Amino acid sequence: MSTTQDFLDFIAASPSSYHAAEEVARTLVDAGFSRQDESAEWSAAPGGHVMVRGGAVMAWFVPEGAGPDSGFRIIGSHTDSPGLALKPTPDFDSAGWQQVAVEVYGGVLLHSWFDRELTVGGQVVLRDGTRHLVNTGPLLRLPSLAIHLYRKDEFKPDRQRHMQPVLSVGTPETSVMGAVGKQLGVDPEDIASFNLITADAQRGEVFGAGEKLIAAGRMDNLSSVHASLRALLAAAKNADSIEHKDILVMAAFDHEEVGSSSRYGAGGPILGDILTRTARALGANEEQRFQMFARSSCVSADAAHSVHPNYAEKHDPTHHPIIGQGPVTKINGNQRYASDANTVALWESACRRADVPVQRFVGNNDVPCGSTIGPISATRLGIPTVDVGVPMLSMHSARELVGERDQLWLGNALEAYLVG
């Protein structure tokens, strides 16, 4: 199977952050990693380990000979994407239609969610306490208002009134929770609670007359999750050729799109927990743990902005990263990104070793840029960090656009960072 096909399969299998975390864990366990229970004694035995907390997944590979004189080489990303999250009481009727009450999760590009089939995915907890993942397949749709009834030039949907998808018409006995229960093989009354979100049900596609492009949902930031998974697997497979004794870490957080302030997010304790418990399991005392952190580094991998041909004025005139010309190093003087001269040099050296071209992004002074988990985790842990990612168009759309080569290059560069 090609890497691109595997990437598209990964996206299709990950309609929610919970699915993405479990898909990463499943892939690593299949490759020989051991699943770590947070409530059990911590393992830092040589080899691979993986832990899932909600929609976040942390994995670490301990090389032979690792100990208190080692450091950590971390790749950070996030599993969540903007979407429409179901409210606790989701089913309601309006004008003969059965609809689903949702709230907007993250910075959704609203117009892109109309007139496409939406799946419902996420976690469901039953009254017996068991947790299940569900992916309904095409179930909902946000229909646009016909142009004959809407003569305004600018499309500005009201987030409360106009963003509620339809489920069915003329059948008040139908419900979204009934569909979820059917998918799980349980009575809807047995569902105690849930975290469910919509996702584009259409499968990703590769297209283009020249440069091959990938169109798919949730590539912000499954593009980085998949590339870091590839890098960790490749590094673990070739562990005998790694000369250093640093612990290799993949940290895929949840809730980045809404600020990272959760026990699954970069603003929470999860990465610090992993690093501290691993250091202690390797015999490090508190002082040695601080020394291990001082030897460490982090690549924060998240999607970057490609220059848009119809809005080139929105970009800095001297920095025009573009799809098809390599991963992007993201730099911001106001610390929206964590990159500094040292970490940029570290990352771009890894790119050179992997024979991967690099580009740089700096925002237009009149157009504020977004941020990432990079500054958050760097602030919490004090570990030097660089922000990078594949160039992307239609960021936060229900269906985004990246370059096939850029996606492959990102994985290769991340592998070089881990092993070099």
pLDDT tens-place string over residues 276-302:
999 999 999 999 999 999 999 999 999
**Residue 147 pLDDT > 90:** no
Task: Taking residues 112-141, report their average pLDDT.
Answer: 98
Contact 197, 84 (CB under 8 A): yes
Helices (H), 146-252: 176-184, 219-237
Question: Hey, what amino acid is at 77?
Answer: S
Based on the fold, state whether residues 157 and 232 are members of the same structural domain: no
Give me the CATH number covering residue 41: 3.40.630.10
* pLDDT-above-70 percentage for the chain: 99
Residues 361 and 257 reside in one and the same domain: yes
155 shares its domain with 87: yes
Instruction: Compute the distance between CA of residue 101 and CA of residue 160 in angstroms, rounded to an integer.
Output: 9
Q: Are residues 161 and 285 in the same domain?
A: no
Residue 29 has pLDDT above 90, yes or no: yes
Predicted structure pTM score: 0.97
Q: Is 288 part of a structural domain of the chain?
A: yes
Residue 128, domain CATH? 2.30.250.10
Q: Using the predicted structure, report yes or no on whether residue 368 has a pLDDT greater than 90.
A: no
Residue-wise burial string across 66-95, b where 16 or more C-beta atoms lie within 10 A, e elsewhere: beeebbbbbbbbbbbbbbbbbeeebbeeee
Rounded distance between C-alpha atoms, residue 358 and residue 228, angstroms: 17
Q: Is residue 207 part of a domain?
A: no
Give the tokens for residue 420.
């070099």
Mean pLDDT of 162-175: 96
Whether 86 and 11 map to the same domain: the answer is no
Distance (Å, whole) CA 207 – CA 189? 44
Interval 19-26 mean pLDDT? 98
Distances (CA, A) of 131 to 50, 55, 126, 190: 19, 13, 7, 12
What is the spatial distance between Cα 268 and Cα 174, in angstroms, rounded to a whole number?
39
Please check whether residues 101 and 64 belong to one and the same domain.
no
Residue 148 sits in the same domain as residue 223: no
The residue type found at 291 is Q
In a domain, 209, yes or no: no
Which one of 146, 167, 198 terminates a domain? 198
Tokens, residue 274: 């992993």
Report which residue type is found at 266. Answer: A
Residue 404 lies in a domain: yes
Element (H, E) at 92: strand 83-94
Per-residue pLDDT averaged across 115-136, rounded?
Answer: 98
Provide mean pLDDT across the span 167-178.
Answer: 96
Domain that holds residue 65: 1-79+216-417
Nearest CA to 392 out of 370, 415, 366, 414 is that of 370
Task: Tell me phi and psi for residue 399, to 5 degrees.
Answer: -145, 115
pLDDT tens string 59-103: 999 999 999 999 999 999 999 999 999 999 999 999 999 999 999
The Cα 179–Cα 209 span in angstroms is: 40
Question: pLDDT tens across 306-334, in order?
Answer: 999 999 999 999 999 999 999 999 999 89
Query: Whose CA is closest to 254, among 66, 123, 96?
Result: 123
Q: Are residues 22 and 130 in the same domain?
A: no
62 and 117 part of one domain: no
pLDDT exceeds 90 at position 259: yes
- Listed residue (99, 79, 78, 96) closest to 87, CA to CA: 99
Question: Is position 204 within any domain?
Answer: no
70 in the same domain as 47: yes
Say if residues 172 and 285 touch (Cβ distance below 8 Å). Answer: no
CB 222 within 8 A of CB 11: yes
Distance CA 350, CA 373 (A): 21
Q: Which residues contact 367 (CB under 8 A, 6 or more apart)?
A: 314, 315
Q: Which residue has the tokens 């730099």?
A: 331
Kindly state whether residue 23 falls inside one of the protein's structural domains.
Answer: yes
Indicate the pLDDT class of residue 367, thresholds 50, 70 and 90: confident
Torsion of the alpha carbons at 403, 405, 408 and 411, rounded to the nearest 10: -80
pLDDT for res 241: 83
Query: Does residue 233 register a pLDDT over 80?
Result: yes
Instruction: Tell me whether residue 303 is in a domain.
Output: yes
Q: Are residues 390 and 263 in the same domain?
A: yes
Res 1 pLDDT > 80: no
Contact 307, 317 (CB under 8 A): no
Domain count along the chain: 2
Please report whether residue 225 resides in a domain.
Answer: yes
Which has the closest alpha carbon to 334: 295, 371, 304, 382? 371
Secondary element (H or E) of residue 169: strand 166-169
Mean pLDDT of the chain: 96
Q: Are residues 134 and 236 in the same domain?
A: no
CA distances from 416 to 28, 304, 346 (A): 19, 20, 11
User: What does the alpha-carbon distance between residue 227 and residue 237 come to, in Å, rounded to a whole number?
Assistant: 15
